[in-house]
A and B are shown apart, each in its own frame.
Chain A
Amino acid sequence: MAAPMRRVARPRPWALRAFATVSSPASDPQVANTLKTENTKTSKSGKNRKQIPNPRTTKMTVGQDWMSVYPSSAPFKPSAVPLPIRMGYPVEKGVPMAKEGNLELLKIPNFLHLTPVAIKNHCAALKDFCTDWPSALDSDEKCEKHFPIEIETANYVSAGPSLYNPKSRVVTLKVKLSKLNLDDHAKKKFIKLVGERYCKNTDLLTITTDRCPLQRQNYDYAMYLLTVLYHESWKTEEWEKKMTEADMEEYIWENSRSEKNVLKTLLQIKASEKTSAVTKEELLGSEEVENYKKSVVALKNAGDTENNLSQYKEAVKKLLNLI
């Protein structure tokens, strides 16, 4: 029951100072005895004795609420931490220094306000502000299918003369070309426009922007680049029709010199053998010519490997009826 000494039942709390009586250990047995009457810690003995209270550690129970002792980040207080910690390099034949007045314990950052219980309580309060990850997007492939673009940004936290880190401007945009709506010519033009930023093995386009002062501006610029590249690659300019064989990145057999040579040779052979006139389409459709075409295309695109060369040899032998 509330102390009977309080005459007024809390009219206005700040006025208590004037009206309420002081509850001292002598008058009210519920108040703890904080003052030490027998002082071992007096600054001076005699008339000028200072009443220093007992350290808080003496009043702590085992099941106390530690969050009220260290609710937030605070320096190490030896009177409030009930652990017998010693820190420091010991003198010869000595032990490390005790916690009272120990500067080493003050210098290092302490995590006394972040005990597991405290962390759990904080997270329980913060959990209301969190949202769940959509359960339909559990694998990488699904993420790519629905969200083909990935944007990478960086943020930096540090103490120093300035809060701003210039590296936080950089924005990297990654997208797979197969997700974009491009036809054959558009894709080739796109790859030519983009140059080194495209990786053939992973089919990944990486655009890194750095030129604007803000991260937001760099992101807008990256999206603008992607849009422009896309639309430009669909356009066919006049001068693109003058593309020569040297410009093409992969070898196409139709209308090439190799095809013309083969046809000329075969026609000459047939003419010299004086068999019935065979048309070009029949020659092109025959199996030997198909094989020859495949081997030549493989050689030109993939390069000179043993496999490719042997295939070419076989194809030529069959074509010219050599053994």
Chain B
Amino acid sequence: MKSDDWRWPEAIKSPGIFSLNHPKNITAKRDGFLLHTHMKWVQFSCLHMDVRTDIDKPKISISDEPDTLYKHLSVLVKGHDRAVLDSYEYFAVLAAKELGISIKKVHEPPRKIERLTLLKSVHIFKKHRVQYEMRTYYRCLELQHLTGSTADVYLEYIQRNLPEGVAMEVTKTRLEQLPEHIKEPLWEMVGKEEKASKA
């Protein structure tokens, strides 16, 4: 199983290159210009182009414990705006394809509208009311045949880029083998042990 804290990969446990005071990250300002302090001298065609050449790549660690297997992973996103969910679906589907995850189905469950009717005025005027509604749109993405590391990576990526005002529900179906103590009934063994102790 791959190291599951890819947020803080082992090579970069200390702030190091990401701290604010690291010499590479200080850009001096003078008279409105930004002086670049990176190793490479970049052409000033576009002032804001950063080129970090010697950033340390996060190191991958492989452990001996077996990876969990997910037969089916269902990602349901809920939001108030259908256009936002459309864009998010495009992003999630493309990310799944790029990472090599098989997509079973992408569908849109029907929306739910919750309406309430309130009095318009603070005091009296019962005949004059105002109505509000809260719309929740859904989008469901069903994936299948994922390993634990792939699922963790994909879900973390998806969730970090979840837009504001959108909620997500993830349902995982995990595959497991029969535990050791269910293979044989216990009473046979206990009977044999008793006989052995008596004999």
In angstroms, Cα B37 to Cα A22, docked, is 13
Tell me which residues across on chain B come within 8 A of A108, comparing CB atoms.
Answer: 81, 83-84
Number of interface residues of A (CB under 8 A): 75
A271 within 8 A of B: no
Q: Which residue of B lies closest to A124 (CB)?
A: B98
CB of B119 to closest CB in A, whole Å: 27
- Nearest B residue to A154 by beta-carbon distance? B171
The contact string, 1 if C-beta is below 8 Å from chain A, for chain B 145-174, is 111111001100101011111111111111
**A133 cross-chain contacts in B, Cβ below 8 A:** 69, 145-147, 150
Q: How far is the CB of B137 from chain A (nearest CB, A)?
A: 14
Complex contact A156–B176 (CB within 8 A): no
Checking B28, B45, B173 against A32 with a beta-carbon cut-off of 8 angstroms, the contacting residue is B45
Q: Are A231 and B100 in contact (CB under 8 A)?
A: no
Please, which residues of chain B bring their CB within 8 A of the CB of A132? 100, 147, 150
Q: Is the beta-carbon distance between B175 and A181 smaller than 8 angstroms?
A: no
Asked if B71 CB lies within 8 Å of chain A CBs, one says yes
| B2 proximal to A (CB < 8 A) | yes
Q: Is the CB of B2 within 8 A of A129?
A: yes
Complex contacts, B91 vs chain A, CB 8 Å: 111, 114, 119
Partner of B37, one of A14, A59, A119, A156: A14
B99 at the interface (CB under 8 A from A): yes
Contact (Cβ within 8 A) A146 B30:
no
| A23 CB contacts on chain B under 8 angstroms | 33
CB within 8 Å of A: which of B117-160?
A: 145-150, 153-154, 157, 159
Cβ-defined contact, B177 with A30, below 8 A: no
Q: Please give, as numbers and ranges, the residues of chain B lying within 8 Å of A134 by CB-CB distance.
A: 69
A156 touches B168 (CB 8 A): yes
A157 lies within 8 A of B146 (CB):
no
User: Which residue on A lies nearest to B169, using beta carbons?
Assistant: A156
* Nearest CB in chain A: distance from B139 CB, A: 14
Secondary structure at the B interface, as helix, strand, loop or mixed, is: mixed
In angstroms, Cα B9 to Cα A87, docked, is 42
- For residue B32, CB closer than 8 A to chain A, the reply is yes
Bound: A2/B43 CA distance, A: 10
Q: Is the CB of B81 within 8 A of A65?
A: no
A111 touches B24 (CB 8 A): no
For B2, B87, B175, the residue with the greatest tally of chain A CB atoms inside 10 Å of its CB is B175
Q: Does B181 interact with chain A (Cβ within 8 Å)?
A: yes
The answer to the question of A153 belonging to the interface, with a C-beta cut-off of 8 Å to chain B, is yes
Q: Which residues of A contact B166 (CB under 8 A)?
A: 109
Are B69 and A231 within 8 A (Cβ)? no
The residue of chain B having its C-beta at the shortest distance from the C-beta of A229 within the complex is B182
Minimum CB distance partner of B74 in chain A: A154
**A132-B162 Cα distance, complex, nearest whole Å:** 25
Q: Given the complex of chains A and B, what is the CA–CA distance between A230 and B188 in angstroms?
A: 13
> In the complex, which of the residues A2, A17, A35, A147 contacts B41, with contact meaning CB atoms closer than 8 Å?
A2
Q: Does A178 reach chain B (CB closer than 8 Å)? A: no
Q: Which residues of B contact A12 (CB under 8 A)?
A: 23
User: Hey, what's the 0/1 contact readout for A129-150 against B, CB within 8 Å counting as 1?
Assistant: 1111110011000010011111
Q: Which residues of A contact B (CB under 8 A)?
A: 2, 12-14, 16-17, 20, 22-24, 30-32, 34-35, 51, 53, 56, 59-61, 64-65, 68-69, 73, 108-109, 111, 113-114, 116, 119-120, 122-124, 126-134, 137-138, 143, 146-159, 175, 179-181, 186, 223, 226-227, 230-231, 234-235
Nearest 3 CB-CB pairings of A with B:
A123-B98, A109-B163, A158-B167
Name 13 interchain pairs, CB-CB below 8 A, sorted by A.
A20-B35, A31-B33, A68-B50, A127-B100, A129-B60, A133-B150, A138-B145, A149-B177, A155-B172, A159-B165, A179-B178, A230-B185, A231-B186
